[in-house]
A and B are shown apart, each in its own frame.
Chain A
Amino acid sequence: MSKVQLALVIDLNVCVGCHACVTSCKEWNSSGWAGPMTDENPYGADPSGVFFNRVQTYECGTYPETETIHFPKSCLHCVEPPCVPVCPTGASYKREEDGIVLVDYDKCIGCKYCSWSCPYGAREFDPVQGVMKKCTLCVDRIYDKTLAEDRRKPACVLACPPGARLFGDVNDPASEASRAIRDNGGFQLMPEWGTNPANHYLPRRKTSMTLHHDELVRVDNPLKIEGELPRPSFNAPSIDDLSSW
């Protein structure tokens, strides 16, 4: 567990479902190393296209007791990625140095077998280039020395207006990402498959406090409101021993 494992931590309590991460991902990766992200029939009746990141929306409960959850979903860069060993060509691989799961477009034969072996539906096939595509964690910008250091983050993290996306090494206990997971009950998706996703989500958190009745009715020093204290008598004891007036 001492190896570096880069990942995203997505705070469902903060995400407002604006899709800024979706569009900035598409923009960056269309023109970058992992592109193109092909769209088919984009202006037609039945458009279809490749995205590395999608924001979905769920509703819990029945009206009026409902809660809306905006849920960004991309490759989780699993620590035990089931998509990797099934790839017959070795095009799908997990990087030793930082745990990012990538597809080598020069080796991929487009058999789609890896996509069957991902329970999260995180891989999307590009029918035009004929290769499998997926989130790269912006591997082409997070190490780019020509960028200012605070810009060396995935495009989605930089784009998120409310700051719902954190990026960092989840194996480093001191990182911002690890701390957020620890402090805010971070969890993994579908832990039952043993994929051990590196990306974590922070749950919806309701901010509430319990008020008791006596906290609503003012009981402390009521005279302060209801009137001035009666004036002490002329010869009441006083600090300077002269007069209370």
Chain B
Amino acid sequence: MRPAFSVLFLTTLIGVGQGLLVALVTAQFFLVIGADGAGETGGFYALGSVLALILLGLGLLASFFHLANPGRAWRSAAKWRTSWLSREVILIPAVCGLAFLYALVHWLGWSPVLLVFDNGKALDLPMALGFAAAGASLALFVCTGMIYACVRFVRQWASAWTVVNYLMMGLASGFTLAAAYAALSGSALRDFLTVAALALTLLAMATRLYQVRRNGRVRLKSTLKTAIGSHHPQIRQISQGFMGQSFNTTEFFTPGAAETIRGLTLFFTLAGFVVPAILLAASLGGDYGLLMVAAALCQYAGLLAERWVFFAAGNHVQNLYYQARA
């Protein structure tokens, strides 16, 4: 499949944004259940989720470049019952809205207690909104992953690993950014977030490399035999019906994909996972804010390459009908 840059930026940017939101909420929850009563200022969370909002907004902006008729984008919420794309379209603004509210109540320091538990802990409004925002972010990961995982005709995509990887890579990059943010703002959450980012990055590497391995082995379910309904064991296409290009030859193929995929797979393994993991481990326990920013940027570049590979490696069934270039 042809990697469209709008979609590469959309999926990676909102991935970081959602991951950052989840990281902030996890950190807040960590402090709430941590008994020592240490807290973080509302401003920390507010600024953090504004950062997430900016990333989500940039992703949304990128997505509009993908649509040929962006003016009608509102229509795409219509078929949420059947279409994962429609569900994603609904969830992105929902996550943005919840992130905004989360930032707002933190900024205003408005934290009425909603529930008191038996052990004396309380659920206040910012935490509750945080849970909602994190839940919506996780649901959005599932939607984005399912958009690709439910395309049965691309075997490389049609597996649960697609969803797992969208989730894992989004969380890893979000936590790395959150750790860098915490380090820069001198927050006590720095080490917690760094350890979490490190663990998620390694886990994401494991699941993504597993999918790379799986994709090296999958075969198309269809053959030219079923494509044209001839029982002959040996069929070859002489003409695809035209000599120029068509939507079928541009949208579903990536020129020079095989070599680029090999090179970029190595690149994203290093830049997306190995290098950030080393940088995160190196900055553990010390005050290396800039090093962690470098880790986050490096990881983003790596994940952008990863997304390119994800698309380029997808081999659509329809390609069976477009093998002869004449």
Contact = CB atoms under 8 A, between A and B. Distances in A.
B236 interface: yes
Interface string B234-251: 111111111011111011
A117 interface: yes
29 contacts: A50-B247, A54-B246, A55-B241, A58-B238, A67-B232, A85-B79, A85-B83, A88-B76, A109-B68, A109-B75, A110-B67, A113-B83, A115-B247, A116-B154, A116-B316, A117-B152, A119-B317, A120-B321, A121-B252, A121-B322, A124-B247, A125-B251, A127-B68, A130-B69, A188-B229, A190-B317, A192-B226, A203-B229, A203-B230
Nearest to B237: A58
Interface of A: 12, 19, 22, 46-51, 54-62, 67-69, 71, 73, 82, 85-91, 107-113, 115-121, 123-125, 127, 129-131, 187-193, 201, 203-204
Contacts of B76: 88-89, 109, 111
A203 B232 CA distance: 12
Contacts of A120: 318, 321
Contact of B79 (A62, A88, A118): A88
Contacts of B245: 46-48
B69 A54 contact: no
Nearest to B84: A86
Contacts of A69: 228, 230
Contacts of A131: 68-69
Given A60-B230, A113-B85, A193-B152, A87 B79 contact: yes
Among all A-B residue pairs, the 9 with the closest Cβ atoms: A110-B68, A130-B68, A121-B318, A54-B241, A88-B86, A85-B82, A60-B232, A88-B76, A47-B244
Sorting the interface of chain B by its residue count into under 10, 10 to 19, 20 to 34 or 35 or more gives 35 or more
B151 A116 contact: yes
Given A85-B82, A127-B68, A191 B226 contact: yes
B169 interface: no
Contacts of A57: 237-239, 241
A54 B321 CA distance: 11
Nearest to A40: B245
Residue among B1, B68, B78, B84 facing the most chain A CB atoms (10 A cut-off): B68
Contacts of B66: 111
Contacts of B82: 85-86
A127 B78 CA distance: 23
A47 B242 CA distance: 10
